[in-house]
Amino acid sequence: MPLRRLPALGSLRAFEAAGRLSSFKAAAAELAVTPGAVSQQIRGLEEDLGVKLFTRAVRSVTLTEAGQKLQPALTTAFLQIKDAVDEVRPRGSQPLRVSASGPVISKWLLPRLHRFSERYPDLGVTISGGDELRDCEPGEVFIRFNDTPGTNAFCHKLCDEFLVPLASPELVERLNLRKPADLLRAPLLHHLSDPQFAQAPDWPAWFVAAGMDPANARHGMRFDPRSADHAIDAAVNGAGVVLGRWFLARSDMVEGRLVMPFGPILPMNVSYYILCRSGAERSPDIAAFINWIREESAASADGACLTYATG
């Protein structure tokens, strides 16, 4: 195919990010655009190619056979372009690269990132989605959610994570949710745990901790392990009560979109870490970001939101 017949670069970037992250929302966060813009770019690409690249459900997208063929090749191509650009870019002008999972980006990092930009207006930051544990490259910082850091790089623990029942204030009022037993008549939202966190609690475990029969905790909508942010957003929109990750839901709780009607609160035994290449923590740009995110995570973990809405 002559190069002039290639689809628009923006549409290819949008498709590659959405395919790699299995989420239009996470792709939008990585590309610093709206989910609607990502969807529009991908629809344009599908029309250009004459094939469907995604199977779209209400809250999830999966690659079609054609999409599965195209996405890995594009990922490899964009990585090669990145390496080539890095080779010719003058030293010291490369932006700080921050890698985190889609839920951490959308629910925790993006609502706070403006404060970093205000403090360091001359420091460029590139955000990318990812949750794998691998060696950090120069100028790269990872935010990872894991039971162990799993690397020999510089690592600092930010905070632990807890699971708490969360619902919109309107749903709590409408269903009169005052005690755990009231959940028997409420829709539940299940965020399925990543298989690597075999001991992470779920709704049945929460029912046991609340002194209730776990057999009554099976009903409701389910979200896959990469969709913790979608489960929280569904609760914000009144779809049900989610056993949500408190650290991720912090902004929604502070701003009153979600409340915790009652306990118990369950530890996940999984923590958030910030990592970079050993020795890179002393470079000015990375040190600035690490110090800032330590301040932000400490403020997020101060427990001010761990109060029950119903007293």
* 109-155 per-position pLDDT tens digit: 988 888 888 888 878 888 888 777 677 777 889 988 876 665 568 88
pLDDT of res. 111? 86
CB 256 within 8 A of CB 143: no
Q: What is the average pLDDT across 293-304? A: 76
Cis peptide preceding 264, ω within 30 of 0 = yes
pTM of the predicted model as reported, rounded to 2 decimal places: 0.65
Tokens of 100: 């985190």
CB 61 within 8 A of CB 74: no
pLDDT of res. 191? 82
Q: What is the average pLDDT across 1-30? A: 82
Phi, psi of 294 (to 5 degrees): -65, -40
Enclosing H/E stretch for 242: strand 241-245
